[in-house]
Amino acid sequence: MEDTPAKPPLSEIEPEDCVGVDLGITSYIHTSENLSVDTLDLSDEYDRYAREQRKLDRKEYGSANWEKQRRKVAQTKRTIKRKVRDYQHKLTTWLVTEYDVVAVEDLDVKPMLETSQNAKNKQDAAWSRFIELLEYKADLHGTHVEKVKPAGTTKECAVCGVKTAKPIWVREHSCPACGHQDDRDLNAAKNILSRGLKQIGAGHSESTPVQTALPTFTPQRVAVDAKRVVEAGSPGA
C-alpha cells in the first residue's frame, strides 16, 4: 500500500496553484480563475423516473407486476445517483490534482433544502457529498482543502471588502465604494479563496500565498459544459 503523500508546505505553494470554489446556482461550481462548470443535465433521467413511477402507481400494490415495476423505479433512481456520483468524482479529482490549495464553502445544506424552492436541484447537487469527496481525495493527493464560512462571500467586494446586498437574480457584482465589477459567482469565489488562505496562512511567514493569490485582473470567463467533464474526466482535458 502506497503512503499518503505529504501536503506541500505553504511557503512553497505558488499563487497560481490556489483556487477558490463557489458552489453555484447557475452553474455547478465557479472558480476564482473564472472557470464555470455547468450542472449535469439529468432531465431525461428524471422524465424516465417520473414515467416509471406513474406506471407503478397504476399497478395493484403487492402484486407480481407491482414488484416488477417497483424494481424498474428503483433502477432509474440508482442511475441518477450513479451519474451524479461519477460527475462529482471527476470534478473533485480534477481539483485536487490541479491545485495545491482548494478553498470551498462550508455549507449547511439542510436549511437550504428546507427553505429553497429549488430543493430538488440542490439535492441533485449533493454538496455535502461533494465536499466529503473533495476532502477525502485531497488527503490521497496531498492537497490542502480549507472550508470557510460562506456568509457574506457574495455581498463582500473581493477588492475592498465593502458589503453590498443583492437579490439572487442579480448576477453581477458592482461595488459602490471602489467601482469594482465582476461576475457575482466569480467575486464570491475570490472571497472564498481569500478566506481559505487567511485561515491556513495564520502564523506563517509572508512567503505564503495569502496576500498574492488573488488576481489583480478579471480572468476571461471559461464556461465548461457538464458533458465535457463526463466524457473527458475534467474541465481542462
Q: Does a structural domain hold residue 95?
A: yes
| Minimum mean pLDDT range among 174-183, 206-215, 225-234 | 206-215
CA dihedral angle for residue 68, residue 73, residue 74, residue 75, rounded to 10 degrees: 90
pLDDT above 50: residue 45: yes
Q: Does a structural domain hold residue 4?
A: no
- The structural domain count of the chain equals 1
Q: Does a structural domain hold residue 237?
A: no
Please give the residue range of the domain that contains residue 214. Answer: 10-232
- Select which of 22, 38, 100, 183 is catalytic: 22
- Select which of 105, 124, 182, 183 is catalytic: 105
Task: Please say if 67 is a catalytic residue.
Answer: no
Task: Please say if 185 is a catalytic residue.
Answer: yes
Using DSSP, state whether 34 is helix, strand or coil: coil
- Rounded Cα–Cα distance for residues 204 and 178 (Å): 30
- Rounded Cα–Cα distance for residues 67 and 72 (Å): 9
- Select which of 33, 100, 124, 185 is catalytic: 185
Task: Please say if 105 is a catalytic residue.
Answer: yes
Global pTM value: 0.84
- Residues 142-163 have pLDDT tens digits of 999 999 998 889 899 988 888 9
pLDDT above 70: residue 123: no
Q: Does a structural domain hold residue 5?
A: no
pLDDT above 50: residue 65: yes
Q: Does a structural domain hold residue 94?
A: yes
- Rounded Cα–Cα distance for residues 223 and 206 (Å): 34
Using DSSP, state whether 203 is helix, strand or coil: coil
Mean pLDDT of the chain: 85
Q: Does a structural domain hold residue 120?
A: yes
Q: Does a structural domain hold residue 100?
A: yes
pLDDT score, position 1: 45
